[in-house]
Amino acid sequence: MWNLGFPEIVIIFIVALVIFGPRKLPELGRSLGRGLSEFKKASNELKRTWEDEVEAVKHEVDVGQDELKKIQTDLE
């Protein structure tokens, strides 16, 4: 996602340690992890719903094409 190297991660950790303190840091990490997990779950659910809707529309189009072909052969 982001190209963070070891020095950048260490700097971020030190800044977070100074700002939040050693007691709040584990709690902050857990909260961040839970938030990212929920975001990923919601994003996967949205993706799944989108794919289901696309498949439903494709099916409707296929059925419509089949009906048109049937009508066309009946007219010939």
Please give the model's pTM, rounded to 2 decimal places: 0.59
- The whole-angstrom separation of Cα 35 and Cα 20 is 18
Is the pLDDT reported for residue 42 higher than 90?
yes
Is the pLDDT reported for residue 46 higher than 90?
yes
Quote the tokens at residue 48.
Answer: 């799944």
Rounded mean pLDDT, 36-64? 96
Quote the tokens at residue 28.
Answer: 């902050």
**pLDDT score for 73:** 87
3-state helix, strand and coil shares in percent for the chain, rounded to the nearest 5: 90, 0, 10
Is the pLDDT reported for residue 57 higher than 90?
yes
